[in-house]
Structure 1
Amino acid sequence: MVFNKVIARFAVGVIGNIISLVLFLSPLPTFVRIWKKKSVEQFSPAPYLATFVNCGLWVLYGMPLVHPHSILVVTINATGLGIEVVYLMLFLLYSERVKRMKILLIIVGEIIFLASLAILVLTLVQTHKKRSTIVGSICMVGNILMYASPLAIMKLVIRSKSVEFMPFFLSLFSFLNGVSWTTYALIRFDAFIIVPNSMGTALGLAQLLLYAMYYESTKRQNAERLAQCYLRRPSLVNGE
């Protein structure tokens, strides 16, 4: 029975790794758009800043010196950390100067926080249980912040009745990621993983519902914008 639980947990963890990897890669179309337009437009850096620090926290949590037998937690979050670095570099490159400085300061602050936490926990706390409790509690907060970071975009969606700046695949795989890691943590109970990921499941579902609600109005707005561009074109050709 115990052996079956170990196998089941490992299998769900592998699935969770795959879904998490797709989640980390899901904003690629957004960043291709940013790269082509040389502008971040109204896209928010908040989800990527939150994911950056969240991945760093979970890498620390999964280290053998903190929480043994959590290699699947380390592998996916270390990968995610590298991916978020690339995304944030693009935000720094194509943001306006004031916004760029703000993002840079937040990144530096997050790095200092992660390094300080790692040094303090590994030098001052002596047992795995205490280290897991301290880092796991902070991870739980970080994970909740990561899942809650699209709330600002959800507010924009409701106000504008448009999902243009809320990437669909990011919302979809946030939901699937929450489901997979909640299942993983239920097999061998881990409250630090269950609490934030169950909340992430709910927030991901809310984003998908918003997407379904405002998808048609987004299409109408885009069609109207395209029609206005065509109407303006003759006047531009005539030099008016």
Structure 2
Amino acid sequence: MGGVAHLVFGVFGNANGLLLFLAPTYGLPFVSPHNLLVTTINVTGAAIESIYVLIFLILSPRREKGKILGLLTVVLAIFAAVALISYFALHGRNRTIFCGLAASIFSIIMYASPLSIMRTVIRTKSVEYMPFFLSLFVFLCGTCWFLYGLLGKDPFIAVPNGFGSGLGTVQLILYAIYHNKKGETKKPSVDGSVEMELAKPQQSQNGHV
């Protein structure tokens, strides 16, 4: 029964992971064999996320392109270093532990990225910048992979995705609290940037609210 539940949560994790690619990278075959579910979602996720980055680089302003290219260079350098060290310097269990720790750290950082948006939601009392379905799939993906890792006794999957499941839960709670509130509206400033101001009822032509 435990094996069936393990497989079911793995399949659900793949389905939800297609919408949010958060599976840890140490599932690659040369690191951790017999881990087909984790490998497939990572390959799919890496391909689609690469397309997202490419689209952003093509359509973004020149200044933003520079920032993203710099960040992308750093990320690729770190990934290359982890891959080279794990492949050439480590073997067997040491390779699995090294890649598992690296993947867990990156997964937690990735899950923690919406924290600034959650702070904005609380400050503005508006969920405009935190789409419901994104929060929902953070929760579903994190929960499915957490249970998959838990049932498979794999801490490198269970721990970061348990963290993601908790953050997804908090996002859904915030959405439930603030989704019907007007909060703050955006007001363009003179220099073209966006400022926030409290939403105010508009006055009619005779001056009454």
Gaps of 5+ in 1: 25-50, 232-240
Q: Provide TM-score, normalisation by structure 1.
A: 0.72
Find the residue that maps to 1:65 and give its secondary structure.
Answer: coil
Question: Shift of residue 9 of structure 1?
Answer: 2.1
Alignment map for 1:156-195 (pairs within 5 Å) = 156-195=120-159
Question: Shift of residue 168 of structure 1?
Answer: 1.2
Aligned to 1:91: 56
**In 2 relative to 1, CA 218–69 (structure 1 residues): closer, same or farther, beyond 3 Å?**
farther
Find the residue that maps to 1:23 and give its secondary structure.
Answer: coil
Find the residue that maps to 1:22 and give its secondary structure.
Answer: coil
Which protein, 1 or 2, shows the higher relative CO under an 8 Å CA cutoff with sep ≥ 6?
A: 1
Whether the aligned pair in 1 keeps the contact of 2:125 and 2:183 (CA below 8 Å) is no
Identical amino acids, percent of aligned pairs: 42
Alignment map for 1:153-232 (pairs within 5 Å) = 153-218=117-182
Whether the aligned pair in 2 keeps the contact of 1:5 and 1:188 (CA below 8 Å) is no
Q: Provide TM-score, normalisation by structure 2.
A: 0.82
Alignment map for 1:74-89 (pairs within 5 Å) = 74-89=39-54
Whether the aligned pair in 1 keeps the contact of 2:27 and 2:35 (CA below 8 Å) is yes
Find the residue that maps to 2:181 and give its secondary structure.
Answer: helix
Distance 1:137 1:10 in 2: 24
Amino acid at match of 1:131: R
**In 2 relative to 1, CA 117–220 (structure 1 residues): closer, same or farther, beyond 3 Å?**
closer
Amino acid at match of 1:208: L
Distance 1:219 1:83 in 2: 34
Aligned to 1:102: 67
Alignment map for 1:1-240 (pairs within 5 Å) = 4-24=1-21, 58-59=24-25, 61-127=26-92, 129-218=93-182
Runs of 4+ in 1 over 4 A off after TM superposition: 219-222
Post-superposition Cα deviations, 1:38-85, rounded to whole Å, max 9, x if no partner, equal xxxxxxxxxxxxx6xxx6xx34x1122211111110101111111212
Amino acid at match of 1:198: G
Higher strand share: 2
Higher helix share: 1
